Structure 1
Amino acid sequence: MQSEPAGRGPTAPAGRGLTAIVVKGYPRLSETFIAQEILGLQQLGQRQLIVSLRHPTDTLVHELNRQITAPVLYLPEYLHDEPERVAAARDWARAQPGYAAAYAAFRRDLRRDPTPNRWRRFGQACVLARELPPETSWIYVHYLHTPASVGRYAALIRGLPWSVSAHAKDIWTTPEWELREKLAEARWAATCTAVNHSYLTGLAPETGRVSLVHHGLDFARFPDPIARPRRDGRDPADPVRLISVGRAVEKKGFDRLLDAFAALPAGLAWRWTHIGGGALLADLKAQAARLHLADRIEWRGALTQDSVLAALLDSDLFVLTARIAEDGDRDGLPNVLMEAQATGLCCLASAVSAIPELIRDRETGVLVPPDDVPAAADALAGLIADPARRARLGAAGAARVRRDFGFAIGLAKLARRFGLPAPAAASG
């Protein structure tokens, strides 16, 4: 989609006009939480335009995304790909009343971050500002790093209010000066974990500027928790089925998990399924071969939400040994942990970032220190051999996630911010 150039937009509450939702890429298999939110706001009556900084790269699409009816505006991923479009947008932007403020903000940022990426984001912002429909009344951005730069500059050019939802990498790999300035300019911000909320509130102490909004789950898409077979690792013909879902990236800690598998007792019967793509997938497969684990592992690649759910229902134990990466990147609260618990699946995870907000150690799951291979191996061995404990922890996890992490609760908070009616199912 490419709209006609528009002038300086109105500043009415977001519920009364068109909300431009800026994302890094759309659709993306790894971002069901964003698709779920967009669909929820759509169902509350929000008029939407999705703005994507990148074209999709996944070959599969969630059914969730197919239910979203908003048009998508794809910005030029690289400015040299569409020079005429970018030049026309820059010429148009220079004539707008808000351009001086936007350009001044960009130049301040460029002095502290003199990278080609900064120029790229300003060029994308000019295109976005020019091509937003005239009825646009709000810009809402997912992620505080590059998408928020584009949304912020475009909002300044158009004289529009903007807000942001912050998640994980965008918080922990962005310098504090940039977070402070964006949070000060945004009308409001939301973030999905208490850990994030505490950090961002320290950078933006104004009361109410940053809200805690858990992603939560729409449990209508999940079956009731199920009872699982009592596999105990003693039958090689019927091994305990372990599963992990996540991109093969450093912060997921799958290399440490493979090391933990290698440390398990030789006679223990188990198989591990990994679902997800990622840059380190080939390295992990090579590591598994070196550790003589290849015949116990199935690499399924990236799958749709329905296929992931089917795999969770067919498994005995979910494992995620996440960690803080060298660049500071870390998980927030991975949705897949909530999804696993919603099915009654016992979860073993690292006590890192916001994961302890969901899993209470030895009450609703098991937590181990990040990067602690012996601890992970010991916890794995114990859970593999004890189906009764897995069942008990799985049932407790299901009860808590369904009580405290429903999607409607967070959606109601966003609805109030946008001036939309609250969802009928909201509670708490």
Structure 2
Amino acid sequence: MADEDAQDADAPAAGGAAAPSGPTGKPTAKPEPPPPPLAIVVKGWPRLSETFVAQELKALEDRGLRFDIWSLRRPTDRLRHAIHAKVRAKVRYLPEYTHEAPLTIFDAVFKAAALPGFGRALNLWMRDLGRDFSRNRIRRFGQACVLATQAPPNLRFIYAHFMHTPGSVARYAAAMRDVEWGFSAHARDIWTTPDWELREKIAESRFGVTCTNVGARRLKALTTNPDKISLVYHGLDLSRFPPPPEREGRDGAMAMAPVRLISVGRLVEKKGYDVLLDALAELPPALHWQFAHIGDGPLAGALKKRARELGLSDRISWRGPKTQDEVIGALRWADIFVLPSRPATDGDRDGLPNVLMEAASQGTAVVSTRFSAIPEFVTDEVTGILVKPGDAGALSAAIAIVARRPDKRSQMARAAHARLVAEFGAGAAGDAVAKRLMVALAPARGAAGASAAD
């Protein structure tokens, strides 16, 4: 591409007009645009499991916002979704571990000491370190120093996706640079971060958005200014999804036409896949089915072993990580989408998994659990079937009912798709976040605070 650019340097501009030239007759280079005044901090970029982050960043660019992405981690996924390539922002990777870039960290800390808010940031960090003495806390301060010293001079606002580690880096860096910051909270960060830390971050931020009503209620309870927290569902950009396919009426009565089950999610405790395996083992022998799983995670080996012990391996396909296009294809293949979410022992839990909306976009009937924010989208017996989390027997019975009733599947799937279109489009979410950021970035603003964006 660089060679082609050099070759065409003297070519006429589009429309036959000559390119602007300087005193030597050579075309003058287009002036570089000023660096963006907005920094967006993310855990990692790109990440297969966080399509909602990529969707939002694309929506912000579509609404005229310019920003750099500051990532705490380099990508670990072998694949990436098509939407990642559509985000044009420059990606800057912060040193992931202090011991891997000690000179970079030392230089950043030395330079950060001259910034106007370094003393305040240091006091914040020392107070946090006293309550959470960990390598993670030390690492975040070093990353914040790099962000604060490498961000452009015109930086005016820092926005973090997730309140825990990205929120800490944004908070310390914003204090150093004496600028404001805001956050988007999701699931694990809300439920596993200590109350004292959530409370202080909310108090110091300009605004916070979160993607579930249950999460919003938790955050609002930790602040004397609940208007600072807004519920903004991620929604789904339906322009990126095909319309639902025509469905076959499989009912599991014939071995040659088994009902097709699918789930998409990380193989971690909170997804409840151990419960799902037990539920599959309890399905009636006369019901013919296949199950496919998309995703990866630390429990992959244990779950595959459990499937073998239960005698299910010949009916299960572990497909591993896939791109979003491949996920959509699998949802169109399936009759029933199953997500048995439940609380993890460390307090982690799902919010409102986007994949439920992706299943609805393709007319795939949903069976899930009455847990966390899932009922905010799935209404039991209307847009899907919900059971008690962790109850393998109830989950098995629900799968059997939906498998044997293609008419019920079709009715619920149509209702879920209608609700998705009417209430969970991505446009409103992009507008809401963009409005808050534009208000925060305005050169002259009053003291109206985050509520001015509402």
Q: 1:17·1:137 contact (CA, 8 Å) conserved in 2?
A: no
Contact 2:383 2:415 in 1 (8 A): yes
Q: Does 1:25 align with 2:44?
A: yes
> Which residue pairs with 1:70 in the alignment?
89
Residue number in structure 1 paired with 2:228 = 209
**Which of 1 and 2 has greater Rg?**
2
Paired residues, what number?
Answer: 405
Shift of 1:17: 4.8
Whether the 8 Å CA contact 1:17–1:138 is kept in 2: the answer is no
Name which of structure 1's ranges 248-257 and 337-346 shifts more when overlaid on structure 2: 337-346
1:277 to 279, 285, 296: 296
The alignment status of 1:365 with 2:353, answered yes or no, reads no
Matched, 1:107 2:99: no
CA distance in 2, matches of 1:205, 1:370: 33
Other-structure match for 2:170: 151
- Partner deviation per Cα, 1:301-356 (whole Å, 9 max, x = no partner): 01110000011011100000000101110000000000101111110001100000
Greater mean deviation of Cα atoms: 132-141 or 84-93: 132-141
Which residue pairs with 2:368 in the alignment?
Answer: 349
Q: Name the amino acid aligned to 2:87.
A: I
Q: Take 2:407 and 2:262, find their aligned partners in 1: how far apart are those partners?
A: 18
Q: What residue number does 1:304 align with?
A: 323
Deviation (angstroms), 1:227: 2.6
Match of 2:217 among 191, 194, 198: 198
1:289 maps onto 2:308 in alignment: yes
**Separation in structure 1 between the aligned mates of residue 438 and residue 179 of structure 2, nearest angstrom:** 16
Q: Paired residue for 2:344, among 321, 325, 328?
A: 325
Aligned counterpart, 1:423: none
Residue 271 of structure 2, aligned match among 235, 252, 271: 252
The 3-state SS of whatever aligns with 1:273 is strand
CA drift at 1:419: 1.9
Instruction: Give the aligned partner of residue 14 of structure 2.
Output: none
Query: Please, which of 173, 181, 185 is the counterpart of residue 192 of structure 2?
Result: 173
Unaligned segments of structure 1, at least 5 residues:
1-15, 421-428
Which residue of structure 1 lines up, in the alignment, with residue 98 of structure 2? Answer: 79
Give SS of 2:156's match. Answer: strand
Q: What's 1:95 paired with?
A: 114
Checking the alignment, whether the CA contact within 8 Å between 2:36 and 2:68 is kept in structure 1 is no
Indicate which of 47, 60, 65 corresponds to 1:41: 60
| Secondary structure of the corresponding residue to residue 208 of structure 1 | helix
What residue is the counterpart of 1:50 in the other structure? Answer: 69
Q: How far apart in 2 are the matches of 1:250 and 1:48?
A: 35
Contact 2:65 2:434 in 1 (8 A): no
Distance of 2:59 and 2:91 partners within structure 1? 17
1:189 matched to 2:208: yes
Deviation at 1:236, TM superposition (A): 0.6
Instruction: Say whether the 8 Å CA contact 1:78–1:120 is kept in structure 2.
Output: yes
Match of 1:385 in 2: 404
Residue of structure 2 equivalent to 1:426: none
C-alpha contact (below 8 Å) 1:20/1:49 kept by paired residues = yes
The answer on 1:136 being equivalent to 2:160 is no
Write out per-residue CA displacement over residues 72-110 of structure 1, whole angstroms, 9 at most, x where no aligned residue.
110110011011111100000111121000000001001
Distance 1:116 1:41 in 2: 33
Partner of 2:32: none
1:413 to 432, 441, 447: 432
Q: Which letter does structure 2 place at the counterpart of 1:251? A: K
Scaled by the length of structure 1, the TM-score of the pair is 0.93
Task: Give the distance between the partners of 1:51 and 1:17, measured in 2 at CA.
Answer: 12
Partner SS, residue 399 of structure 1: helix
2:18 corresponding residue in structure 1: none
Following superposition, which runs of at least 4 residues in structure 1 exceed 3 angstroms of deviation?
Answer: none
Contact 1:126 1:154 in 2 (8 A): yes
CA contact (8 A) 2:252 2:289 kept: yes
1:166 Cα offset (Å): 0.1
**Aligned mates of 1:75, 1:214 — CA distance in 2:** 29
CA RMSD of aligned residues (A): 1.0
Fraction of identical pairs, as percent: 51
Cα distance in 2 between the residues matched to 1:199 and 1:153: 24
Larger deviation: 236-245 or 199-208? 199-208
> In structure 2, what residue type is equivalent to 1:218?
D
| Equivalent pair of 1:227/1:391 in contact (CA under 8 Å) | no
Match of 1:313 in 2: 332
Q: Deviations over 1:219-270 (max 9, x none)?
A: 1111222331000001111110000000000000000000000001112100
- Distance in 2 (alpha carbons) for counterparts of 1:174 and 1:207: 18
Bigger RCO of structures 1 and 2 (CA < 8 A, at least 6 apart):
1
Please say if residues 193 and 212 of structure 1, whose CA atoms lie closer than 8 Å, have aligned partners that are also in contact.
yes
- Structure 2 spans left out of the alignment, 5+ residues: 1-34, 440-454
User: Which amino acid counterpart does residue 309 of structure 1 have in structure 2?
Assistant: I
Q: Letter of the aligned partner of 2:81 in structure 1?
A: H
Q: Does the CA-based 8 Å contact 1:18-1:46 persist in structure 2?
A: no
Compute the displacement of 1:405 (Å): 0.3
- Once the two structures are TM-superposed, the CA of residue 207 in structure 1 deviates from its matched residue by 4.3
- Report the Cα offset of residue 146 of structure 1: 0.9
Counterpart CA distance in 1 for 2:150 and 2:314 is 53
- Amino acid corresponding to residue 200 of structure 2 in structure 1: E
Q: What is the identity, as a one-letter code, of the residue corresponding to 1:191?
A: T
**3-state SS of 1:47 partner:** coil
Structure 2: distance between partners of 1:174 and 1:240? 41
Question: Which residue identity does 1:402 align to in structure 2?
Answer: V
TM-score (norm: length of structure 2): 0.88
